[in-house]
């Protein structure tokens, strides 16, 4: 079993390294899974990831510059192509075979830059999480963000798998209304090939402040609210939440105009054992023609996630102070426990060949 405070890394997996628009024509450094990586975009627009350490004198390549042939070290000018091979040594015609740095498989799609941190021979692009809503700007205008959080990445996944925290820590945003509406939501949890899916229904409830501000539900209106979440190993959660006025038949058809509808991608990429990057994108599925509505939603979600961040960092410190102490599982942990099991299965599968050796 992976520990709560310091779940180990699964290496053979795609992680979000960055948002596409973070990578421009200057070197971009980020530590992922304890490895220092430098990303860059070449003149043709392709993104590459290399170890952030020159093979000559160990200078971080982030101090260099992007040139037509690749990334040039800032110290003595060795140039590396996107595959990590050295393609130029100033003042020397022959390039030795050892003149290379590690390169990581990278795929850029749907506004994500995905990186494969394990055995490159196992990198299978079909295993990348599909998030088509990022390509659908007309129906799902969106804006993304990223938070650096001082907690193990799996604590962030845990947080998204037990939403009974909402009425406690998100009172001013997506919480609000009756606390017990949230706690007593009808919860359906299903194991999937990639992890776990759940949907929560709160029928006939008072909409929370964020929903009222966004969709303009009138005074005294009650709604049927849903929270649809899918965890995909190791570090992605796809969310579709919303509400329709009572009587609209939300349970039969959620894709109706006139209510509140929001999609969020959540990605938790480990930086170290006790820090991670929280990538998220919030899509407005209710007032698509109003850029201000997308901006307001982004702000609300950004504020909401800051509330989570505060708790996650405090939780990490407490877990680290006493890592051996056991924790209590309750009814509301059902999806969270299943998510951890899916994660543990993936971890075990990766570690099994190593154990056999």
Residues near Fe ion (CB under 5 A) are 308
Tell me which of 59, 256, 275, 296 binds ligand FES, using CB under 6 A. 59
Query: From the CB of 151, what's the least distance to Fe ion, in Å?
Result: 13
Q: Contacts with ligand FES in 62-101 (CB under 6 A)?
A: 73, 75-78
Nearer to ligand FES by C-beta: 83 or 125? 83
Nearer to ligand FES by C-beta: 54 or 157? 54
Residue 85 DSSP class: B
* 160 touches, from Fe ion, ligand FES, none (C-beta below 5 to 8 Å by class): none
238 binds ligand FES (CB under 6 A): no
Sheet-wide strand order for 106-109: 14-19, 112-116, 106-109
Tell me which of 23, 39, 54, 297 binds ligand FES, using CB under 6 A. 54
Rounded CA-CA distance 234/232 in Å is 6
Which window, 36-44, 52-60, 140-148, 178-186, contacts ligand FES (CB under 6 A)?
52-60
Rounded CA-CA distance 134/123 in Å is 23
268 binds ligand FES (CB under 6 A): no
* 54 touches, from Fe ion, ligand FES, none (C-beta below 5 to 8 Å by class): ligand FES
Interstrand relation of 70-72 and 186-191 (parallel, antiparallel or unpaired): unpaired
Q: What are 254's two structure tokens?
A: 């959620």
* 75 touches, from Fe ion, ligand FES, none (C-beta below 5 to 8 Å by class): ligand FES
What are the DSSP calls for 265-291, one per residue? EEEEEEEETTEEEEEEEEEE-S-TT-H
Which window, 50-58, 199-207, 247-255, 304-312, contacts ligand FES (CB under 6 A)?
50-58
Instruction: List the beta strands (DSSP E) in 33-180.
Output: 35-41, 47-51, 65-67, 70-72, 79-80, 86-88, 103-104, 106-109, 112-116, 142-149
How large is the angle between the packed helices 153-161 and 334-356, nearest 10 degrees? 150
Query: From the CB of 52, what's the least distance to ligand FES, in Å?
Result: 11
Residues 6+ apart with CB under 8 A from 149: 156, 275, 276, 277, 278, 309, 312, 313
- Nearest residue to Fe ion on Cβ basis: 308
Q: What are 318's two structure tokens?
A: 């407490």
166 binds ligand FES (CB under 6 A): no
56 binds ligand FES (CB under 6 A): yes
Residue 177 DSSP class: S
Asked if omega into 234 is within 30° of 0 (cis), the reply is yes
29 binds ligand FES (CB under 6 A): no
Q: Is residue 79 within 8 Å of 40, Cβ to Cβ?
A: no
**Cβ neighbour number for residue 355 with a 10 Å cutoff:** 7
* 59 touches, from Fe ion, ligand FES, none (C-beta below 5 to 8 Å by class): ligand FES
Nearer to ligand FES by C-beta: 73 or 268? 73
Site string for ligand FES, 172-211 (x = CB under 6 A): ----------------------------------------
Return the bridge partners of 205, or none.
Answer: 223
* 308 touches, from ligand FES, Fe ion, none (C-beta below 5 to 8 Å by class): Fe ion
* Site residues for ligand FES per CB under 6 A: 54, 56-57, 59, 73, 75-78
């Amino acid at each position: 079993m992976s520990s709560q405070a310091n779940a180990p890394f699964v290496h053979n997996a795609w992680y979000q390294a960055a948002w596409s628009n973070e990578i421009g024509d200057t070197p971009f450094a980020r530590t992922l899974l304890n490895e220092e990586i430098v990303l860059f975009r070449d003149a043709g627009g392709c993104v590459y990831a290399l170890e952030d350490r020159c093979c000559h004198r160990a200078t971080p390549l982030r101090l260099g510059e992007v040139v037509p042939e690749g990334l040039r070290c800032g110290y003595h000018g060795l140039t590396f192509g996107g595959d990590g091979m050295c393609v130029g040594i100033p003042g020397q015609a022959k390039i030795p075979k050892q003149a290379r740095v590690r390169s990581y498989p990278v795929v850029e799609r749907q506004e994500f830059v995905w990186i494969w941190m394990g055995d490159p021979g196992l990198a299978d692009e079909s295993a990348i999480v599909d998030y088509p809503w990022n390509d659908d700007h007309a129906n799902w205008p969106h804006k993304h963000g990223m938070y650096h959080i001082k907690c193990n990445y799996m604590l962030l996944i845990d947080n998204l798998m037990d939403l009974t925290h909402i009425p406690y820590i998100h009172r001013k945003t997506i919480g609000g209304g009756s606390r017990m509406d949230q706690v007593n939501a009808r919860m359906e949890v299903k194991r999937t090939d990639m992890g776990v899916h759940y949907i929560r229904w709160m029928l006939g409830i008072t909409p929370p402040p964020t929903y009222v501000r966004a969709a303009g539900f009138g005074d005294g209106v009650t709604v049927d609210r849903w929270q649809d979440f899918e965890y995909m190993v190791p570090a992605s959660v796809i969310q579709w939440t919303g509400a329709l006025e009572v009587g609209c038949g939300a349970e039969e058809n959620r894709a109706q105009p006139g209510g509140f509808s929001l999609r969020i991608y959540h990605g938790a990429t480990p930086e170290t054992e006790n820090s991670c990057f929280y990538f998220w994108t919030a899509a407005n599925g209710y007032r698509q023609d109003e850029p201000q509505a997308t901006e307001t939603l982004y702000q609300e979600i950004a504020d909401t996630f800051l509330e989570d961040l505060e708790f996650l960092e405090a939780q990490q410190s407490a877990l680290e102070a006493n890592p051996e102490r056991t924790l209590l599982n309750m009814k509301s942990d059902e999806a969270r426990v299943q998510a951890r099991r899916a994660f543990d299965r993936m971890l075990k599968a990766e570690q099994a060949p190593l154990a056999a050796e």
